[in-house]
Structure 1
Amino acid sequence: MLAGTTGCSRLRPKPHREYVYVMAKETYLRDRVAAVSNRTADVQNGDRLLVLDHGRRFFKVQTDKGAQGWINEKMVATQSIFDQFAALTKEHEKDPVVATGVVRDDVYMHLTPGRETEHFLRLGEGEKLKLLRRATLPKPVPPGLRAVAPVVEKGKVVEAAPPAPPAMDDWWLVRDSKGNAGWIYSRLMDVDAPDALVRYSEGQRIVGAYILNKVYDPDAPQDDKNIPEYVTVTSPYTSGLPYDFNQVRVFIWNVKKHRYETAYRDKNIEGYLPLTVTMASDPYSKAPASATVAPTYNYRVLADDAPPVVPDPVTGAVVPSKTILKTYRLEGNLVRRVLPPDATPPDETHPEPVVKKAKKAAVHRRAVRAKRRRR
Structure 2
Amino acid sequence: MTANRSFRFLCATVALTSFVWLAGCNRLRPHPAVQYVYVVSKDTFLRDRVAAVSNKVAEVTNGERLEVVEHGRRFLKVKTAKGAVGWLEQHAIIEQPVYEQFVQLQQQHAHDPVVATAVLRDDLYLHDKPGRHTERFYLLPEADKLQLLVRASVPKEIPPQALPLSRTRKLPSDHNVPAAPPPPVLEDWWLVRDSQGRVGWMLSRRMDVDVPDEIAGYAEGQRIVGAYVLARVYDPESSFPDKQAPEYVAVISPYKDGLPYDFDQVRVFTWNTKKHRYETAYRQRNLEGYLPVTVGTQTFDKLGSEPVFSFKVADGDSVALSPDGEEHPARTVTLTYRMEGGLIRKVLPPGTNAPAAVKSPAPSRVVHSRHHNRRHRSKK
Q: Is TM more than 0.5 here?
A: yes
1:350 to 361, 364, 371: 361
Match of 2:90 in 1: 73
Equivalent residue for 2:120? 103
Q: Give TM-score, length-normalised by structure 1.
A: 0.84
Question: 2:130 & 2:324 partners in 1: Cα distance?
Answer: 7
Judge conservation of contact 1:247–1:269 (CA < 8 Å) in 2: yes
Report 1:194-343 matches (<5 A).
194-282=212-300, 286=301, 288-289=302-303, 292-303=304-315, 306-307=316-317, 317-340=326-349, 341-343=352-354
Letter of the structure 1 residue corresponding to residue 86 of structure 2: G
Rg: which structure is higher? 2
Unpaired runs of at least 5, structure 1:
354-375
**Distance in 2 (alpha carbons) for counterparts of 1:322 and 1:154:** 46
CA apart distance, 1:49: 0.8
Q: Paired residue for 2:194?
A: 176
Task: Report if aligned partners of 1:135, 1:315 keep a CA contact under 8 Å in 2.
Answer: no
Deviation at 1:218, TM superposition (A): 2.1
**Greater Cα offset, 237-246 or 211-220:** 211-220
1:269-296 alpha-carbon deviations (Å, 9 max, x no partner): 11011111111024xxx5x22xx11110
SS at match of 2:105: helix
Verify the 8 A CA contact 1:250 1:265 in the aligned structure 2. yes
Structure 2 SS opposite 1:84: helix
Q: Give the partner amino acid of 2:309.
A: Y
1:348 and 1:152 mapped to 2: Cα distance? 42
Write the deviation string for residues 91-140 of structure 1: whole angstroms up to 9, x where unpaired. Answer: 11122221111211211111111111111111111111111111111111
Flag the 1:108–1:222 CA change in 2: closer, same or farther, 3 A.
same
Aligned partners of 2:324, 2:182: CA distance in 1, in Å? Answer: 22
Contact 1:137 1:316 in 2 (8 A): no
Q: Quick one: percent identity of the two aligned structures?
A: 51
Q: Specify whether residues 220 and 64 from structure 1 end up closer, same or farther in structure 2 by C-alpha distance, changes over 3 A only.
A: same
Deviation at 1:226, TM superposition (A): 2.2
Normalised by the size of structure 2, how large is the TM-score? 0.83
| Aligned equivalents of 1:345, 1:166: Cα separation in 2 | 37
The residue type equivalent to 2:335 in the other structure is K
The answer on whether the counterparts of 2:169 and 2:179 sit within 8 Å (CA) in structure 1 is no
Pairs aligned (count): 344
Structure 1 position 224, deviation (Å): 3.3
Structure 1 residue 129 corresponds to structure 2 residue 171 = no
Classify the secondary structure of the residue corresponding to 1:296. strand
Computed over aligned residues only, the root mean square deviation of the Cα atoms, in angstroms, reads: 2.6
* CA drift at 1:225: 2.1
> Alpha-carbon deviation of 1:147?
7.9
Give the direction of change, closer, same or farther, for the CA distance of 1:14–1:227 in structure 2 (3 Å limit): farther
Amino acid at match of 1:297: F
Which amino acid in the other structure matches residue 345 of structure 2?
R
Q: How does 1:360-371 map to 2 (within 5 A)?
A: none
Unaligned runs of 5+ in 2: 1-15, 365-380
Alignment-mate amino acid for residue 37 of structure 1: S
